[in-house]
A and B are shown apart, each in its own frame.
Chain A
Amino acid sequence: MVLAELIAIKERELAARKPVVITCCLAAGCLSSAGQAVKEALDQAVKTASLDAEVEVRGVGCMRLCCEGPLVFIDPPGTLYQQVKPEDAASLVGTVRGGTTHVARGEPNHPFFARQMSIVLENSGFMDPERIEAYIARDGYLAVRNVLREMTPAEVVSEITRSGLRGRGGAGYPTGLKWSTVAKTSSAKKYVICNADEGDPGAFMDRSVLESDPHRVLEGMIIAAYAVGADQGYIYVRAEYPLAISRLQTAIRQAKQLGLLGSGVFESPFNFNLDIRIGAGAFVCGEETALMASVEGRRGQPRPRPPFPAESGLFGQPTLINNVETFACVPPILRRGAEWFAAIGTERSKGTKVFALAGKVKHTGLIEVPMGMTLREIVQDMGGGVPDGGQIKAVQTGGPSGGCIPAAHLDTPVDYESLGRLGSIMGSGGMIVMDQQDNMVDVARFFMEFCKDESCGKCVPCRAGTVQMHALLCRLLARQATARDLAKLEELCDLVRNTSLCGLGITAPNPVLSTLRFFRQEYLDLLAPEPWKPATPPAPLPGLG
């Protein structure tokens, strides 16, 4: 593969575009509401109407408004149809010839769509994720070609550093710094790992990226491998994502066939092999050291750091590990320049972030917004607020490691530091809206139950501490806990966060701590009265004093 071939593929692909394209979402959300049947019915309807020459029906990745799926978009004229049923296919295809349809239309100008800024999801919902040509037509793999031909590894690292990109896997570690640490090690063997374990309950950002645009992640990984000097990569995906796995397999096969993976990438001396490793659905295997143990075929348990993976990771070799979304940001940064990326977002949080918006909001689904947008803009304007006129009580971010931000703080900008100051974290991108019906103690209990069940059991505070914290929360909810139990709960939170080995234990108390901070009254309201104590202690029994 050389540049001329890449351009030829792009031009062929663009020339083959039919006058009308009907895109039909085939990402997980719409697939679960019969999206596949809709796609097949549309195919059939186009055939029946003999419109094959003019109309293409294209299965695409996530079109964002998951709550209204299956979604179908007809372009031109650029109309979004919601909750499409297979029976609607004929009338939808009929609109191409000026017919009418009763299918509900979406509002493409609604803030839910209009306020989004697509970088990671720029191809999602437009292209067929199973065809590499479609990705190339949207300038895919151009960045790799330019990097391999025109930049030194050090220049690539410096570009990423200047872009201000930070890890999207939760902690927000500066990506450039991580890359340069791995690049500076002198080992002959290095690895690149993509963390696609996505275990937070309710989160589906990484899944959507993998299902909608798998080549983008591959491209990001190839660039990273070149920058740090690795020749082998692994994508660690959870087994619960069979569609993502199959699309990744397809993508890897196609990239190999075109000489974009394997030996001599883009006919350069650079070699890079990529394999998929499938996790068995343990949340803790998303923790980097546990993930690497799992890739090595051992029990997925974290180990103390240092040594950090950048010095001693997979099989004891320097390893770069980044999240799916982090890698997905890489190709556009190299295509459009670090300055372009650094101009988006806030002082210390650059670029955009994808969130899975869920809970008590009208519009749920996938959104990508620039960093620094306020929570209010996201949940009120884009999400449409609580259905049926309810009141937002809190917004949960960061899943089991995060916290609940009360409505009073809705004007907080969404960036790493601001969320951290409120006792929450950016996390991987779960965002759950809660209304007055939600009991915050119960929310804390839910996440504690999750941590208790997902604790790997290696270290004492997390293994045994989460059990006791969960029991205390249950006792509170059963109105059997006393003020002393509440004090015990706080003591345990302090113990577990300060003594646990890995991030799971360290952050497990966060949902409790943040709800205690902002909704303490709800805890106090649940307390049982102290057991009766006499006001004055009884006099000692005669003869015993």
Chain B
Amino acid sequence: MAAKVFTIDGQEISATEGQSVLEAAHEAGIRIPTLCHLEGVMDVGACRLCLVEIAGSNKLVPACTTQVADGMVVATTSERLQRYRRLLLELLFAERNHVCAVCVSNGHCELQSLAMHLGMDHVSFPYTFPKLEVDLTHRLFGMDHNRCVLCGRCVRVCWYVEGAATKNFSGRGASSRIISDLNQPWGESRTCTACGKCVHACPTGALFEKGTTVGEMQKDRGKLEYIVTAREKKQWIV
């Protein structure tokens, strides 16, 4: 594979052909904020937090779905980008009921840490306070729609890593919901293998293990990466 050389935040780095700007940046130790990106499953470009500027174009592009090209000049931290990222986070916090103080993921939540790192110290939009369900019908896990950011990570691991295809989206716009099977209670799903990958893929407290209380739900991303890498490298075939 051909190597590509490009510039990111003034630093020249090399990448392999086909790599995303996000991967290449991470390898070079440059962190770009992400939410819908999850190591090991394909990127969809949904959260828009990883948007970066490319010199010569006034269109912002998501780092996670943009492939590197020779001579590309990428900027990831302009004032404008940081402002957009904070606004996007504000929109997310106003969209559902993110009450960190009583959330199982308090202290281990990607949304929360993004807000802290990007300096989102208040929400300037009125909260919409939707009335949402909590599905506790599953034997092991719970789903709290109040905390869901619709990143789709649970759906992608369920389809493309576990292959169970239990999780999916229903509805559209603000009434989009994560559902199990044909919008049944999770506990009644015939396809769910109770593998728990969705729980560990979820960036917030929307998916959690039963029995955890405030601040106790820590997600184990390593396990997922381990499975995906082992599969790609065929480490399980003897």
Q: How far is the CB of B228 from chain A (nearest CB, A)?
A: 21
A233 an interface residue at 8 Å Cβ cutoff?
no
Residues in B with CB closer than 8 Å to A454 are 172-173
Contact A464 B174 (CB under 8 A): yes
A455, A459, A488: most-surrounded residue (chain B CB, <10 A): A459
The reply to whether B173 and A495 form a contact with Cβ atoms under 8 Å apart is no
User: Which B156-197 residues sit within 8 Å CB-CB of chain A?
Assistant: 168-169, 171-176
A side interface size, CB within 8 A = 30
A501 and B48 in contact (CB under 8 A), knowing A452-B174, A455-B172, A456-B172?
yes
Within 8 Å CB of A284, what residues of B? Answer: 172
Interface string of A505-531 (1 = CB under 8 A from B): 000000000000000000000000000
Using CB atoms, name the residue of chain A closest to B128.
A467
Contact A499 B60 (CB under 8 A): yes
User: Does B218 sit within 8 A of A, measured CB to CB?
Assistant: no
CA–CA, A499 and B80, complex, Å:
11
A457 and B177 CA atoms in complex are apart in Å by 9
Question: In the complex, which of the residues A454, A464, A492, A495 has the most CB atoms of chain B within 10 Å of its own CB atom?
Answer: A464
Chosen A-B contacts, 25 in total, with CB atoms closer than 8 Å, are A304-B66, A454-B173, A455-B174, A456-B173, A457-B169, A457-B175, A458-B46, A458-B152, A459-B46, A459-B47, A459-B48, A460-B47, A460-B88, A460-B92, A461-B91, A463-B176, A464-B94, A468-B91, A468-B125, A488-B124, A491-B87, A499-B88, A500-B48, A501-B45, A501-B46
Q: Check B92–A299 contact: CB distance below 8 A.
A: no
Query: Which 3 A-B pairs rank lowest in CB-CB distance, beginning with the nearest?
Result: A457-B176, A464-B91, A455-B173
Q: Number of B residues whose C-beta is below 8 Å from A?
A: 32
Decide if A54 is an interface residue (CB 8 Å cutoff).
no
Measured CB to CB, the closest approach of chain B to A303, in angstroms, equals: 7
User: Mask for B77-88, Cβ within 8 A of A = 1, else 0?
Assistant: 000000010011
B126 on the interface (CB 8 Å rule)? yes
Q: Closest Cβ of chain B: how far from A500's Cβ, in Å?
A: 7
CB distance from A458 to the nearest CB of B (A): 5
Residues of the A chain whose Cβ atoms lie less than 8 Å from the Cβ of B84: 495, 498-499
**Complex contacts, A466 vs chain B, CB 8 Å:** 173
Give complex CA distance A456, B173 in Å: 5
- Bound together, the chains give a CA A501 to CA B61 distance in angstroms of 9
- Other A-B contacts than A459-B48, A501-B46, 8 sampled, CB-CB below 8 A, are A299-B169, A303-B44, A457-B174, A458-B44, A460-B88, A464-B94, A467-B173, A499-B48
Complexed CA–CA distance, A394 and B169 (Å): 40
Task: Give A452 to B176 CA distance when docked, in angstroms.
Answer: 12
Most A CB within 10 A of own CB, among B47, B84, B152, B174: B174
Give A290-340 interface residues, CB cut-off 8 Å to B: 299, 303-304
Measured in the bound complex, the distance between the Cα atoms of B125 and A303 in whole Å is: 28
**Min CB distance, B166 to chain A, in Å?**
15
Most buried by B among A284, A458, A468: A458
A107 proximal to B (CB < 8 A): no
Residues of chain A with a CB closer than 8 A to B44's CB = 303-304, 458
- Cα distance A299–B155 when bound, in Å? 13
Interface flag for B150 (CB, 8 Å)? yes
Asked if residues B128 and A463 are in contact (CB atoms below 8 Å), the reply is no
Distance between Cα atoms of A304 and B168 in the complex (Å): 20
Task: For residue B214, give the distance in angstroms from its CB to the closest CB of chain A.
Answer: 26
Q: Which residue of A lies closest to B171 (CB)?
A: A457
Assess whether B51 is interfacial by the CB under 8 Å rule: yes
